[in-house]
Amino acid sequence: MTTALPPTIRPQDRSFLGEEQVAVRARLAEEVRALIDAVVLTDVPDAEIAEITGQVRALTDRLGAARLGAAPMADTPIDGLIASGMSRQLGNPVTGVLNPVAPPIPFEALPDGSVRSVFTLDEPYEGPPGLVHGGISAAIFDQVLGMTAGMSGVPGFTATLELRYRRPTPLRVPLTLKARITRREGRKCWADGEITTPDGRVTVEATAMFVTPRHLLAEEADEAQEQRTS
Ligand SMILES: CCCCCCCCCCCC(=O)SCCNC(=O)CCNC(=O)[C@H](O)C(C)(C)COP(=O)(O)OP(=O)(O)OC[C@H]1O[C@@H](n2cnc3c(N)ncnc32)[C@H](O)[C@@H]1OP(=O)(O)O
């Protein structure tokens, strides 16, 4: 029996893009990221803003002329990290190279199974003046700890995520997030991590637990059964 998810959320039902298609769209997203920054910080006259608004609307209409039903996936894993799942999710709001809302956060898998991300956040991610918004830190931890769990062989949804904001996290400086697995038990996986400033001071610590959803396991078992009988 197939425990079907709605088609738009099944990776296998999405459009898969090749390297060149990803590269072309990633350049667009990068420009739009710069546009977001310019929109937040612009001080050009109001009349010019009104004119630019019309031009942006026209660009939105051109891009919207052909529209997918859901964000596409990369046909090869980004950075070779995990062979499936969210490493290929190009529209992800934290790591997605095609999503201008994403910083995007890069990943480096270290030989000991831990993960390191080095990134800089600027004005569009501001919470308190000059500082990173706490919810942005939470989203980054959610994704990075989740991918660390996935890399350890227990891909899952976030069941719990706890953050301890020790010090303010500054904008416009390179931040380092390190994450590691602390425990695995069946479908459950615990990970923790911290964000540090260039002088090595920890600003935020996080602990999370991920659970491989029962319905995903059921779906995998169904697919294996279908392959055996075909
Ligand atoms: C996948 C590709 C991704 C691969 C890539 C990963 C990158 C991910 C990064 C982004 C992650 C997200 O944002 S995910 C989006 C935010 N999270 C969600 O929307 C999750 C919503 N919740 C759910 O879908 C569900 O509750 C699940 C999947 C968490 C669990 O449902 P389930 O599969 O039916 O499991 P269930 O039998 O209830 O529970 C199994 C065991 O886990 C425990 N448990 C379950 N939920 C919790 C909980 N919130 N807090 C404590 N413990 C819990 C149960 O007590 C039980 O322990 P025991 O009795 O066995 O001891």
Averaged over successive runs of 10 residues, the pLDDT of the chain (230 residues) comes to: 55 83 95 98 98 98 95 72 58 94 90 93 98 98 95 92 98 98 97 98 98 84 75
Q: Where are the domains of the chain?
A: 105-218
pLDDT of the residue at 83 = 37
Is residue 210 classed exposed, middle or buried when 0-12, 13-18 and 19+ CB atoms within 10 A define those classes? Answer: buried
- The CB-based long-range contact list for 189-195 (8 Å cut-off, 24+ gap) reads 189/149, 189/152, 189/154, 189/156, 191/145, 191/146, 191/148, 191/149, 192/145, 193/115, 193/141, 193/144, 193/145, 193/148, 195/137, 195/140, 195/141, 195/169
Nearest by Cα to 40 from 110, 126, 112: 126
CA 22 to chain centre: 16
Evaluate: CB of 216 within 6 angstroms of ligand 1: yes
Backbone torsions φ then ψ of 60, nearest 5 degrees: -60, -40
pLDDT of the residue at 82 = 40
pLDDT of the residue at 118 = 95
Evaluate: CB of 86 within 6 angstroms of ligand 1: yes
Evaluate: CB of 10 within 6 angstroms of ligand 1: no
Evaluate: CB of 5 within 6 angstroms of ligand 1: no
pLDDT of the residue at 226 = 76
Closest residue by Cα to atom 34, ligand 1, is 214
pLDDT of the residue at 107 = 83
Output the CA 36–ligand 1 centroid distance in Å.
34
pLDDT of the residue at 7 = 52
Q: Which atom in ligand 1 lies closest to the alpha carbon of residue 149? A: 6
Evaluate: CB of 93 within 6 angstroms of ligand 1: no
What dotted CATH number matches 105-218?
3.10.129.10
Evaluate: CB of 155 within 6 angstroms of ligand 1: yes
